[in-house]
Amino acid sequence: MKHPRAKGRRKPGEMNGTERKMAEHLEAMKARKEIIDYRFEAVTLKLAKDTRYTPDFMVIMPDGEIQFWEVKGFWRDDAKVKIKVAAALFPFVFIGCRLIPNKRGGGWQFEVFE
């Protein structure tokens, strides 16, 4: 039996438009050797019993550091709580990436969670 999905929801493993734009940004960074590689939804972290978090991108930096990048058009409270909890529990760098609309100059705004 198929479970209905809300309109606008994507299947796990499929990028939405904002995530595709970030993948393009990461490809450019990779070409410039600013990062070694990246993977989409490569890791799921267990935050608590029955609570998991799958960051959008795992990014490998030139020095071998692993970062997890979460891409948002805007932040919901529950998403911010999850990334903050993940940053407190795991020894990785967590970065929130918000797409800036073209009418406001375009590009990305980055926020590091520690």
For 97, phi then psi, to 5°, come to: -120, 120
* C-alpha span between 67 and 26 (Å, rounded): 12
What's 105's domain CATH number?
Answer: 3.40.1350
Residue with token string 């410039």? 32
Q: Please check whether residue 10 lies inside any domain of the structure.
A: no
Inside any domain, residue 11: no
Q: Say how far apart CA 64 and CA 79 lie, in whole Å.
A: 26
Domain count, the chain: 1
Specify the pLDDT at position 12: 74
pLDDT at 13: 80
* Sequence-distant (≥ 6) Cβ neighbours of residue 42 within 8 angstroms: 57, 58
Range of the domain at 55: 29-113
In a domain, 43, yes or no: yes
Asked whether residue 19 is assigned to any structural domain, the reply reads no
Q: Is residue 79 part of a domain?
A: yes
Single pTM value for the model? 0.87
Examine residue 58 and state whether it is found in any structural domain, yes or no: yes
pLDDT at 1: 55
Mean pLDDT, 10 residues at a time, over the chain (114 residues)? 56 89 97 98 96 97 98 90 96 96 92 93
